[in-house]
Amino acid sequence: MIAAVFRAIPVRLAASLALTLSIAYLSLVPGYPTEDDPALVRTVALVPSLLQNAMHCALYALLTLLWAAVLVRWKRPILWAACFAIGYGVLLEYAQRFVPGRYPGLLDIGLNTLGVVIGAALAASLLHDRNRTA
């Protein structure tokens, strides 16, 4: 049932866009929230750095996987999804220069890229399985 839902391009596109925007929101949360900031902003600032690092990998793996599913009819969908995810991560890291209490970091770019590689490997495995059963 779930597999059938994710076969529909509009559902995959909506999920990909939602995750893309969520990553931007989480990446651009001020590093030093105030009492006036929303609860989510204050909560994100309290997440330990080790968990934040793991989240970088997980979110970018999922981002790559979802965009590969959207682009599945393109030639080389995994490559396009991976390039988008890496470029998006670099762009958000640069944008952090302008957010109070945040700064761009090569470690974050590396963790994002590791997540992209994991997501691309998962997408390749799923695409291979799909082509084999078709």
- With a cut of 80, say whether residue 5 has pLDDT above it: no
Q: Which residue has the higher pLDDT, 39 or 116?
A: 116
The one-letter amino acid at 102: R
pLDDT the model gives residue 1: 46
**Dihedral of CA 69/53/108/117: which sign?**
negative
- Residue with the larger pLDDT of the pair 34 and 51: 51
* pLDDT surpassing 60 at residue 91: yes
Has residue 31 got a pLDDT over 80?
A: no
Instruction: Give the model's pLDDT for residue 74.
Output: 84
Could you report the per-residue pLDDT of 42-57, keeping only the tens digit for each? 777 777 888 888 999 9
From CA 80, how far away is CA 64, in angstroms rounded?
9
Position 122 pLDDT exceeds 80? yes
Residue 108's pLDDT is what? 95
Q: Is 38 left (phi over 0), alpha (psi -120 to 50) or beta?
A: beta
